[in-house]
């Protein structure tokens, strides 16, 4: 099988001189969707649609407060987090995603967009059949 040189290269940020598309690998895309389109999404309808699209029905979400299972429980967890934070607080990636096979890691911060973060942590996702099966959040600051 012949692979174009683009397929052999690790993903990198797009540049004006890039000849090859540089799409995110699936696990990396799920890490960013988990952070921005679920935990960072204040519109409940959009969040629910994303949850249905990227997580298995029996997804397990674990954080220091406990374990939530399923779409509804995950949605309620995000509602509680965002509902307890000022509207100006946003989630932001804090570095690059790291992926090994079906496992991904992404550090993040949560706080005012133009100020220091109120909390920081990282997420670890286990992906099965292209969707998130388990998500773990570790708080670091």
pLDDT at 104: 98
User: The domain containing residue 54 runs over which residues?
Assistant: 25-139
CB atoms within 10 A of CB 38: 24
**C-alpha triplet 26, 36, 14: angle, nearest 5°:** 55
pLDDT in tens, 79-88: 999 999 999 9
**Total domains present in the chain:** 1
- Tell me the sheet residues that pair with 105: 98, 124
Q: Cα separations (Å) of 2 from 5, 6, 25, 40?
A: 9, 11, 20, 40
Q: What is the CATH number of the domain that holds 88?
A: 3.10.450.50
pTM of the model: 0.82
**Kindly report the CA angle at 108 between 107 and 110, in degrees rounded to 5?**
160
**What is the predicted pLDDT for the residue at 8?**
36
């Amino acid at each position: 099988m012949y692979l174009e040189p683009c397929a052999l290269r690790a993903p990198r940020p797009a540049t004006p001189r890039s000849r090859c598309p540089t799409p995110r690998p699936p696990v990396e895309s799920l890490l960013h969707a988990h952070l921005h389109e679920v935990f960072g999404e204040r519109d409940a309808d959009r969040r629910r649609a994303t949850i249905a699209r990227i997580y298995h029905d029996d997804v397990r979400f674990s954080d220091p407060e406990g374990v939530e299972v399923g779409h509804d429980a995950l949605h309620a967890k995000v509602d509680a987090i965002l509902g307890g934070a000022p509207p100006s607080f946003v989630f932001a990636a804090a570095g690059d995603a790291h992926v090994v096979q079906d496992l991904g890691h992404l550090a993040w911060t949560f706080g005012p967009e133009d100020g220091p973060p109120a909390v920081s942590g990282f997420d670890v996702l286990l992906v099965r059949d292209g969707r998130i099966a388990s998500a773990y959040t570790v708080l670091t600051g």
